[in-house]
Amino acid sequence: MRIGELSKRTGVPVPTIKFYLREGLLPHGRLTSHNQAQYGEEHLHRIKLVRAMTEVGKLSVAAAREVLEAVDEPGNGVHQVLGVAQSAITPQVAPEDSEVWQRAEARVAELVRRRGWQVRPGIPAEQALVQLVVTFDELGQQDLLTLLDDYAQAAEQLAKSELAAIGRRDGVDAMVEGAVLGTVLGDALIGAMRRLAQSDASHRLFEGTPE
């Protein structure tokens, strides 16, 4: 199909598709004359994937390109691409040289050990977690930190179901795409669910009571 039909079928304007081509988010079509190219179903799917990552998952163009390069790299398996996708969405946190930071680091390391999670020490997610523990601690919210194990338990169950579903797919390409989408969109998914559930729980607990 031509670029116009690609635009019509995806709902993405032609200038945006040209931007994706320029930025390396979308592979070029097959040239049929000096100024015309043909695109296939794989381009259609890739455009939807780029939209999902940038519009719904809020990834920057640079982060989306990094993830797609890992997806396209022959020989990359699920575990490698998952690592790249995780890095792309996890803000880098620089460790602080303070006592409260060290205490939080020890607490997170102990949590990881207790759950038996086999993760490379110091991965971005672990540092992000340490920073959150420090933040709750410094704001005097120690009671909320007692919920860390509930969060870990919930995360572990979700990760197991998600990776198991991905592992049931046919072929590495489909698994890799599932890992990317689960990572990039999964945060938004659990976030939206939490807000609905919080809204219900707070309604039950606090609504109608005199303040």
Interface of this chain with a copy of itself, residues 100 to 159, rule: CB under 8 A = 112, 115-120, 123-126, 128-129, 131-132, 135-136, 138-141, 143-144, 146-147, 150-152, 154-159
**Does 165 sit near a copy of itself (CB under 8 A)?**
yes
Asked whether 6 and 27 are in contact (CB, 8 A), the reply is: no
Closest contact distance (angstroms) between CB of 200 and a copy of itself is 4
Binding mask 176-205 for a copy of itself (x = CB under 8 A): -xxx-xxx-xxxxxxxxxxxxxxxxxxxxx
Looking at beta carbons only, is 33 or 146 nearer to a copy of itself? 146
The C-alpha angle with vertex 189 and arms to 186 and 193, in degrees rounded to 5, equals 140
Number of residues that make up the chain: 211
Looking at beta carbons only, is 10 or 65 nearer to a copy of itself? 10
Residue selected from 77, 100, 110, 114 as contacting a copy of itself according to rule CB under 8 A = 77
The C-alpha angle with vertex 5 and arms to 3 and 11, in degrees rounded to 5, equals 100
DSSP secondary structure string, 173-198? HHHHHHHHHHHHHHHHHHHHHHHHHH
DSSP secondary structure string, 27-69? ---EEEETTEEE--HHHHHHHHHHHIIIIIS---HHHHHHHHH
- What does the alpha-carbon distance between residue 205 and residue 113 come to, in Å, rounded to a whole number? 35
Looking at beta carbons only, is 19 or 151 nearer to a copy of itself? 151
Site residues for a copy of itself, 24-53, by CB under 8 A, read 45, 48-49, 51-52
Looking at beta carbons only, is 32 or 202 nearer to a copy of itself? 202
Residue selected from 22, 91, 106, 114 as contacting a copy of itself according to rule CB under 8 A = 91
